[in-house]
A and B are shown apart, each in its own frame.
Chain A
């Protein structure tokens, strides 16, 4: 398909010329978009089709593959480790989304109005966002290290713990360490989105409510929150979609441990496809993940298109 697109683009003006259509010069537009279409076709549309196709096969890395129908999908229903990974991913998604909003909303209120130093505050809170997830994870894996890191030795030296605690050795401390890292890394992003939402609320609305005697809390719940519904929906969906695809931080900081308790859905697919090289099975798992994300995106489109119908 990729090879036909550029040639179709080239022949289009000619065809138009033969028919003598007046807008044939417009068809040159196809030439301008041809490189983009070619890339998206080769590296997105075709792989997408291949994922679906491969999911119906037993497909090892070496040797031939064989058509097995829906067997991979049947196997998924019995794959308790995948369901555990999915369960963990959803658990993580819920906790991290709440945590991000709990931090980002107050920050957004704090930096919403321009004032002295506000630019500096916005920039500081936002800086971790531009650092990549891999860099942030490497950085925090050092801070969390029991011997050379910051937290355990500091707690020990301050006398908070009787001995150095290895934070990544048990599930709860490891999990919450990742939560703290991710909140530090992405709260600034959510803050900016919420801030633009806050700034789009007309000032005279809140002023009028103030004159009518509404207190700060009433103004916040009666005016600010309802008017921010679209922004909230957007920030929520972005956070949820990003969290469901979490991989870097759990791979780099925890290696899925302790005892495989922090394997996310993408991590499990990665293991099946590129560690065990069960490419067909990995493709079927990918299809499940893909359906979840597409459903989420459709909900998003709906929420954003229709501000009334939440």
Chain B
């Protein structure tokens, strides 16, 4: 059974007649012990879907879903009580996640005090051990440091150690490498991959960067305008994308064409969050759109290890 099973998630804000559709129809299924990528451009609903998993949506949000389960539990009821116990988060900017006026030791201890129930001297040993597990060479020095005395990569490792300190087995990482240099980011991704194997963690990696997905994700889901448009194993998804949006996104990368050729940019804009979408959300910008695409919801298609929603008949052979 999948650890996370979401079907038909919709999140709306604002008035009842003219709501803001932050998330329209997200399906997401995450297997235990894997890193799953949630890919999409600004405004596609990827961060707010992650917040829903954490139970961090504001009061004004109206959430509905056909299924919204974590380890068999209905998250609509229990998300708040799982946060910090089974589900932890790593944010984009480690400098903002850490308190600038407290030493790392105090900040690690705060997490351990409220989650482990261990006596003080043991908590210190556990903190050292966790920092060492995230690849920090000198945990004692780190514990005595303030955040500004650490580099960005070291700060992100401390944040990861804090996530581990909660004892959570599911970690939501929202763009964890965007604020880091490419080579440092690659090290952080390698660390997450190692921790997933050693500690039987499951990670949801929210990102807009195809390189991050290729580097560390086992499988991924592509969102467009609050809809899941395609999901599958990473190698399948990157080598043979089926949905026109995924294809267009990969074709827009600078290494998709020979040097000097024009990049394939996607014309038009994402639909307004107020818009009522009858058919396929991507239809107005899709190069192979047909009349039916604007009128009816696209069917879900599946070729075994890869599923997508599109009116186009899949090509065989």
Answer yes or no: do A and B interact.
Answer: no
